[in-house]
Structure 1
Amino acid sequence: MSTTAPQKIGVTDMVRGAIKMVPDLPSMARHAPGLVIRSATAKRTIGQIFANLAEKHPDRPFIRWNGESTTYGEANRQVNRYAAVLADRGVGNGDVVGILSKNNPTDLMLILATVKLGAVAGMLNYNQRGEVIDHSMKLLDGAALIYDPEVTDAFESISPERLPSNVLDFTALDEEAAGKSDSNPAVTKDLPASTTAFYIFTSGTTGLPKASVMSHNRWLANYSGIGGLAVRLRPSDTMYVALPLYHNNALSVSLGAVLSGGACIAISKQFSASRFWDEVILNRATSFCYIGELCRYLLAQPAKPTDRQHSVRVIVGNGMRPEIWDEFTDRFGIDRVVEFYGASELNLAFVNAFDVKRTVGFCPLPYKVVEYDMDGNPKRDAKGRLNRVSKGEPGLLISEISDRVPVDGYTDESDTEKKIIRDAFKDADAYFNSGDLVRELGFRHIAFVDRLGDTFRWKGENVATTEVEAAVDGAGGVEQTVAYGVEVAGCDGRAGMVAVEMRDGAVLDPKKLADHLYRTLPAYAMPLFVRFVSAIEATSTFKNRKVELREEAFTSVGDDELWVLAGRNDGYVPFYDGYAADVAAAKAPR
């Protein structure tokens, strides 16, 4: 079995993939124009697409929750009632509605209600607390905040001064919605595709979370390109979604694929490796979305009959590592893996439409793979221009910005400008810096290599090292902290590790440190390894030392004391042989 990504894509690969597309060619033909030609002024939005499906197919199942179905018609009427509540409270075109919720039907219908009004759904991460969620609320500057009672602890950690005038929980929302009009809002049919649909939070490259902007127009690229041309769901299909709806894979890719096929979306409150296939079977799913760690956790489960007693034929997501690709598809009987590459703020995406194994796929939009320096910036030559790398050689992926392929960026224009590369190959051109290393494979396919910069990715989330450093520095007695990501065999992404310099005479209690960090950080940002060092360089060569710490990881720490995270109950404990294997098998931390 091959365990690596292909070095190049051949004609045979493309022909084989094209043959598999033949049954879906009629539906693909409907979506192809939407990928190539998307006018920002066109009266085409998510709300319009959903309302049209509800009108044409009112009795077709749209949401499945714990095995029970809600039809397109029923869902659309409730969506319209929620929209009426928001409108009566003054929410209109361009306003922001903060949504803080675990997955459930109300969450999804509230999202659709918001975008039907031309308002922006601000997708808050319910793992955030305190200063971090306050920062997110400040970025939203919302007209309303609607929250799920199940995440009251996150809601209660928001400072009162960050709350908008309109605050409702789901119970109050439903009470106000009773008796409201169930007709489509009049504004929906006139909204242009350029209207902003979502703020999706990402760690970006440094600092606290940034809110990336997603217009309806860019969402439509996922709808047509990933959903219509690659995933190719049929009306009889059901996509199971266990990822949170604030995650781009769920909100854009999965919802886009469902609506592009007029299919059903089955929502799970949250991912459970032990119950995953049981829920897939209960909800009669034929597809699901994933991130790499989800696939790892499923493989780590003991084999059982339900591994093959489901009807899933196609899955879509990102982070499926080449070394587990065949093992995963063989064990669980998956016919097609629609791996894709993209980011909430990036203006293009690659998608494995041709079913070429172990690649992130194909993109028809303009991009370049260029030389880079160790700081993750593009390297300029003596003339100040960028140079492309040879096919198969790792390079920095940059995407061209144009009227046809604009960039939505972040809510803070200065953050967006930092990611834009100007005068790259000629005067006045512009490219968006992905911050990622990739290899070109031919036929406009790439393979993902690694992330550049300080941010690392763990459990499908971007982790900003400055956020982790600030949390550890606040533990008491800490002089200085350096945070970075380290590879753990058998895991996707990089696990968090911190090097800590203590003040003279100060001592950290391992359980109290863990308790403090669990209160301060999202669970995915918790450092798994804590290394105590005598001193951290604060000179101009500090970044080089950080690179060295990352390379030393947890295997070359010399005589330095090393702790590892055992979980909420035990906190940090001394490093032990086998810890890395426990992390890979999802046995630690618990």
Structure 2
Amino acid sequence: MRGWEELYPLPVPPSWVPGAAVGILSLHFIQKLLFPYFWADLRYLLKVLTYGLRMEMYRLQGRVVTVLDEFVKLAEKQPHKAFLIYEGTVHTYRDVDRRSNRIAQVFLQHEALKKGDTVALLMGNEPDFIHVWFGLAKLGCVVAFLNFNVRFRSLLHCVSSCEPKILVVGADLLGTLEEILPKLQKDVSVWIMAKDSTFPNVHTLLDKIEAASEDPVPVNRCSATNLKSAVLYIFTSGTTGLPKAAVISHLQILKGAAGLWAFGATSDDIIYITLPLYHSAASLLGIGGCIHLGATCVLKKKFSASQFWGDCRRYNVTVIQYIGELCRYLCNQPVKEGEKNHKVRLAIGNGVRNDVWREFLERFGAVKICEFYGATEGNICFMNHTGKIGSVGRTNFFYKLFFPFDLIKYDFQKDEPIRNKHGWCEKVKKGEAGLLISKVNAKNPFFGYAGNKRHTEKKLLCEVFKKGDLYFNTGDLMVQDHDNFLYFWDRIGDTFRWKGENVATTEVSDVIVMLDFIQEANVYGVSVPDHEGKAGMASLILKHNASLDLEQMYKQVVTYLPSYACPLFLRVQEKMEMTGTFKQQKFRLVDEGFNPATITDPLYFLDNSKKAYVMLTKELHEMILSGKIKL
């Protein structure tokens, strides 16, 4: 009896099959060993290319499709879907579309606004911020987002620099309006988000919205003819001086709005926005990203560490936005039962420290942290699509083809890029810190600052590697490792970050030297253990025979500066050290920090609990380092 193997012999595979299998396994092993991020890079690159091709198709068809156009289409396609959830109230896509129409109709009726006119918006996080923004955009206006933390002189500067026809102020910011109203240009028409007003010559908006029509404004008012035309001004402190109005085009909004999608968010996601809407992260990436996806966002008036996870559970949040400080605040909250009991799967933002990153994942579960890098006015962006701890993104040969950038050597003493004997800049080696510069071309333009040609030109580097080339100077030092991951290193120039905001040292020193007993003020940032960014410190030179009035000093900084820009530490010196180019010397002061055990000069600390500057003792210094005193 023959076996079934003899009756039905198995087919013999061709001789090349085993070799091919071994070859495939070998290639897979080599890829894992030498190119471990190949597939992740390829997926990300395909997403970038897909989006770029779609934009190019629109261009070839002669179509200009903006984020506002996308929103209006969604209001027709999914009118009853929640767009905004604010303090428990749901605002559908149709609701937001119709209320923004009402606002557009009010300004169309009461103000002679022309397409391209600027309107400044001074409001906190609330639905009407978005309604006013969209309503004015439907009239073809450029909307300037004002930072509501900025006070008096700096705020007046911001308003004047963008030359608005109208200033719209939120009901909770009337105190700020009262400060600047007497010195506001007379040709600026002021509107407040209220039904009545005690201010002379100030218009009310809420009463007029109720009586206005919901009909769309004429299409020719809002239709864009060029993606590179300005649509927003978002203020940034840059690297020096007072805030500057970065020009934001339709193209930049479209790129920013694609960020959530690029990280893997979908139309089913619910995005939690606690960051201020006057920043590009919340407005472009958050609100714009929500529109790009057709998703829902939960808007919070102000970030609250104690309410954060409760809100996430209550609203079934799946995507959160963060800055490094926000993650640290959450990690500093007392440990509670069920901290991983939520639906958050993506956290998108920047500036989180490695130790906080690890603690966040350990405490709050398998949340994919998506770190990215991008300046408001910049023309370069990096995204950490692999989740590598500490990195702001990855690059490769193909990415640099589409978004050319380099890291160049920088002279910290002279505060300028190093040039060789031929006058060209030099690239740093992998693993070395270098100044990030990004090539300016038709695909990656730099739009500059509103009404400030000098500051626009200062952000550009000419003749970098060859004659005629042009690069955007980000002002940021970065490191690229041997695996092509990028890491943020530091800021250059007279600026530092604190509480997630850029602080321009010259702005702070200008406020301090207004005091009649101050001869000179040298402002810089100092590191504080377990805190992101750097805390503000001012080295002071008193006028001859004058004494330091701590009460006046406190009153001056809290009146004229945002809370995050008020110097936490003061140091009184007898003379100011200068560099060889007659700039204030900061490096040694930064290194010495605020330790009273090693510094013989008098030191003072801004004690918020006492609302005063107090002598910085060794005991107080220890309490700050141990975290017993909150900064």
TM-score over 0.5 (shorter chain)? yes
Q: In the alignment, what sits opposite 1:243?
A: 275
2:184 is matched with 162
Query: Among residues 277, 287, 305, which one is paired with 2:309 in the alignment?
Result: 277
- In structure 1, runs of 5+ residues without a counterpart are 1-8
**Structure 2 unmatched ranges of 5 or more:** 1-32, 195-203
Deviations 1:254-280 (A, max 9, x none): 123212211111111111222222223
Q: How far did residue 249 of structure 1 move?
A: 1.1
User: Partner residue of 1:389?
Assistant: 428
CA distance, structure 2, for counterparts of residue 49 and residue 184 of structure 1: 15
How far apart, in 2, do the equivalents of 1:509 and 1:428 lie?
Answer: 54
Deviation at 1:30, TM superposition (A): 5.8
Counterpart of 1:229 in structure 2: which amino acid?
A: A
Is 1:372 the counterpart of 2:393? The answer is: no
Number of the residue aligned with 1:105: 127
TM-align CA RMSD: 2.6
Counterpart in 2 of 1:266? Answer: 298
- Partner SS state of residue 585, structure 2: helix
User: Where does residue 478 of structure 1 map in the other structure?
Assistant: 518
Counterparts in 2 of 1:29 and 1:431: CA distance versus 1, 3 Å? closer
CA contact (8 A) 1:318 1:360 kept: yes
- Rounded to whole Å, the distance in 2 between the matches of 1:585 and 1:114 is 49
Q: TM-score, normalised by structure 2?
A: 0.86
Structure 2 counterparts to residues 314-329 of structure 1, below 5 A = 314-329=346-361
CA distance in 1, matches of 2:364, 2:507: 38
Structure 2 counterparts to residues 106-505 of structure 1, below 5 A: 106-163=128-185, 164-171=187-194, 172-185=204-217, 186=219, 187-224=221-258, 226-230=259-263, 232-305=264-337, 307-362=339-394, 364=399, 365-374=403-412, 375-411=414-450, 412-441=452-481, 445-505=485-545
Please say if residues 489 and 580 of structure 1, whose CA atoms lie closer than 8 Å, have aligned partners that are also in contact.
no
Instruction: Please state how far the C-alpha of 1:445 moved relative to its aligned partner.
Output: 3.7
- 1:12 corresponds in structure 2 to 36
For the structure 1 residues 545 and 29, does the alpha-carbon distance in structure 2 shift closer, same or farther, using more than 3 Å as the test? Answer: closer
Superimposed CA distance per residue, residues 50-99 of structure 1 (whole angstroms, 9 cap, x where no aligned partner): 11111111111100101221111111111111122222212232111111
Contact 1:63 1:105 in 2 (8 A): yes
Contact preservation (8 Å) 1:197, 1:214:
yes
Give, in whole Å, the separation in 1 of the partners of 2:592 and 2:55. 45
1:455: Cα distance to partner?
A: 0.8
CA offsets 1:261-307 (integer angstroms, 9 cap, x no match) = 11111111111222222223333321111111111111111112363
Contact 1:499 1:530 in 2 (8 A): yes
**8 Å Cα contact 1:51/1:184 also seen in 2:** no
Residue equivalent to 1:46: 67
Higher relative contact order (CA 8 A, sep 6+): 1
Task: Give the Cα separation in 2 of the matches to 1:69 and 1:582.
Answer: 44
Against the structure 1 CA distance between its residues 384 and 551, is the aligned structure 2 distance closer, same or farther, given a 3 Å change threshold?
Answer: same
The whole-number CA distance in structure 2 between the counterparts of 1:31 and 1:572 is 53
Q: CA deviation at 1:154?
A: 1.4
Alignment: residue pair count: 576
Matched with 2:51 is 31
Q: Contact between 2:117 and 2:165, CA under 8 Å: does it hold in 1?
A: yes
Distance 1:521 1:97, change over 3 A: same
Q: Is the 8 A contact 1:488 1:580 kept in 2?
A: no
Q: Which amino acid aligns with 2:78?
A: H
> Residue in 2 aligned with 1:66?
87
In structure 2, do the counterparts of structure 1 residues 354 and 285 end up closer, same or farther at CA, with 3 Å as the change threshold?
A: same
Quickly say closer, same or farther: Cα 1:306–1:569, change in 2 above 3 A.
Answer: farther
- Which residue identity is paired with 2:606? L
Residues 233 and 263 of structure 1 are in contact (CA less than 8 Å); yes or no, is this contact kept in structure 2?
no
TM-score, structure 1 normalization = 0.91
User: How far, CA to CA, are the matches of 1:81 and 1:539 in structure 2?
Assistant: 58
For residues 377-399 of structure 1, the C-alpha deviation after alignment (integer angstroms, 9 at most, x for no partner) is 22111111111111121111000
The offset of 1:566, in angstroms, is: 1.0
Deviation at 1:332, TM superposition (A): 1.2
**Secondary structure at 1:530 match in 2:** strand
Distance in 2 separating the partners of 1:34 and 1:174: 40
Kept in 1: contact 2:58–2:65 (CA 8 A): no
* 370-379 vs 548-557, which moves further: 548-557
Contact 2:66–2:224 (Cα < 8 Å) also in 1: no
Aligned equivalents of 1:75, 1:159: Cα separation in 2: 30
Q: Deviations over 1:77-123 (max 9, x none)?
A: 11111122222212232111111111000011211222222211111
Matches of 1:219 and 1:376 in 2, distance apart?
Answer: 32
Do the aligned partners of 2:339 and 2:363 also contact (CA within 8 Å) in 1?
yes
CA contact (8 A) 1:482 1:499 kept: yes
